[in-house]
Amino acid sequence: MDKEMIKTTCLRCLAGCGMQVHVKDGRPVSVAGDPDSVSGQGILCVRGKATLDYVFNEKRLTVPLIREGERGSGRWREATWDEALDLIAASFSRLRDDHGAESVAFIEGGSKGYLDAWLSRFANKFGSPNVTKAAQHCFLPTFLGSKLTYGALTRPDFEHPPECLVVWGANKHETALPEGTRKDMTISEGKTLVVIDPAPTAIARKATEWVRLRPGSDLALALALINVIIEEGLYDATFVRWHCVGFGALKDHVKQYTPSWAEGETGVPAEDIVRVARTYAATRPGAIFSGNGIEHYHTNFQMGRALAILRSLTGSLGAHGGDIFWQRPPLRHNGDPELTAHGELPDDVPDVNYRDDLIPLMPFALHQNLTSAMLEGVPYTVRGAYVMGCNPLLTWPESETVRKAFSSLDFLVVADLFMTPTAALADVVLPVASYLEIDSVHVGEFVPEVRATRSITSVGQARSDYGIFAELASRMGWNGGGPMRTRRSTSCSSLLA
């Protein structure tokens, strides 16, 4: 039988590159990049190329499992979907009735696009404010820093290659190939490329200037760059006068953050800091592309603001070859409050962050706060959790503490493709479908391209995350109504007094 080619979208990361899947006798046999895709431009990275290796991996979870032995003993029995879902619905209902909806946490990993919305929607309908994901150290600090400085996230205008591109804490050639490819436009046209990174990445080796700063000192360097640009009058005075507020206060604030001071903080010679500041400010239009490298420290939100200020000072906002604002496709965003049923979450139940002075608009529970709630009952005890597509034992801080915390839960559900260390502690493990096994829609992260994800194959009894939540919602008795309020639904109001 001849091969059939089906177009779909790779979801191994947020890029959403176009993928061609070649099918023979009903089974995918190879994958390739889709040349018609604006996002991928016909290219797949090593993760995309390995799609079939993990979709058909012999270690894939294929049936629901219910724990039989001690937690973590590895003793399981296979169950039907009805049995597993009935057990989850009954156990979560019991925790909600006995201890309040806030006693159950909902945890997800890397973004799955619209599938993220279903976890948040289920949690909000359930009545729990304790939802978390990796956003606190991945994208959200930079996004909020930009949003609270000039209203929205910006991105370099690679279609009109910047005269000066600053790549700060990003290694997209190895982590997000579409963006790495777009950065090559700047290199190929002989533009100025400044790379700020402690590691000798592939892009750093191609840079006009590589600034090898001490890990975690990014904010000190950014403040010193702002200092030089202001003190030497290198800023765009017209743009600042017409479009910026608080310039005088900023000028006074950064006087203390001199290149000499920053040298001690960053390990970068003061003269190099001055040179980079002059290069970025004078070589216009310029753009800054940052990555997750700047978000893994406690200064991440302020770092996002500092980069937004640098863009503003040089008048790069909204200019061809500078940092531009994208208009999203006319689709409901996966974080839309109506889609996630945010309005149905009770206002009087605080999440585990209530005691912290967090950055504005922080929508997720911090990992360390959930760990404390599980182990120490602070501010109250989290007794159950639903984990979707992530592995907290390997990704949250203080792994041994996290292991003890998840082991202490009354009831733990993990939905994943493989038996991870976190799944090994669960009471119920659910086999989840990969992106070759679901129909969905995806909006690209690096190019505003809307693409379909096609259900092309199936493995065992794996189900989509959406299908799982829909079945659980039915078992919880939700037929379009709000959360099922209980006698404990207002029990935490005194904590806010």
Q: Cβ of 68: how many Cβ atoms within 10 Å?
A: 10
pLDDT higher than threshold 50 for residue 485: no
Domain boundaries, the chain: 4-55, 65-134+341-433+462-496, 154-325
Note the pLDDT of residue 53: 96
If pLDDT is split at 50, 70 and 90, which confidence band does 14 have? confident
Note the pLDDT of residue 271: 98
Query: Domain 154-325 is of which CATH architecture?
Result: 3-Layer(aba) Sandwich (3.40)
Phi-psi region at 265: left, alpha or beta (left = phi > 0; alpha = psi -120 to 50): alpha
Note the pLDDT of residue 177: 67
Q: How far apart are CA 157 and CA 325, in angstroms?
A: 9
Q: Do the domains spanning 4-55 and 154-325 agree at the CATH topology level?
A: no
Polymer length in residues for the chain: 497
Mean pLDDT, residues 260-264 taken together: 98
pLDDT higher than threshold 90 for residue 497: no
pLDDT tens sequence across 114-140 = 777 888 899 999 999 999 987 777 787
417 class by beta-carbon count within 10 Å (0-12 exposed, 13-18 middle, 19+ buried): buried
> Closest by alpha carbon to 437, among 122, 2, 62?
62
Q: How far apart are CA 423 and CA 194, in angstroms?
A: 42
Q: Cβ of 280: how many Cβ atoms within 10 Å?
A: 26
> Side chain identity at 18, as an amino acid letter?
G
Q: Cβ of 113: how many Cβ atoms within 10 Å?
A: 19
Place of tokens 């000192």: 217
Kindly give the pairing relationship between strand 104-108 and strand 76-78.
unpaired
Note the pLDDT of residue 241: 96
Instruction: List, in sequence order, the alpha helices (H) in 396-459.
Output: 399-407
4-55 carries CATH number 3.30.200.210 = yes
CA 10 to chain CA centroid, nearest Å: 17
CATH node for 65-134+341-433+462-496? 3.40.50.740
Note the pLDDT of residue 136: 77
pLDDT tens sequence across 323-368 = 998 777 777 666 777 777 778 888 877 888 876 676 657 778 889 9
Note the pLDDT of residue 190: 65
Phi-psi region at 454: left, alpha or beta (left = phi > 0; alpha = psi -120 to 50): beta
- Mean pLDDT for all residues in the chain: 88
pLDDT higher than threshold 70 for residue 486: no
pLDDT tens sequence across 219-254 = 999 999 999 999 999 999 999 999 999 999 999 999
- φ/ψ of residue 452, rounded to 5: -90, 145
Name the more confident of 161 and 230: 230
If pLDDT is split at 50, 70 and 90, which confidence band does 202 have? confident
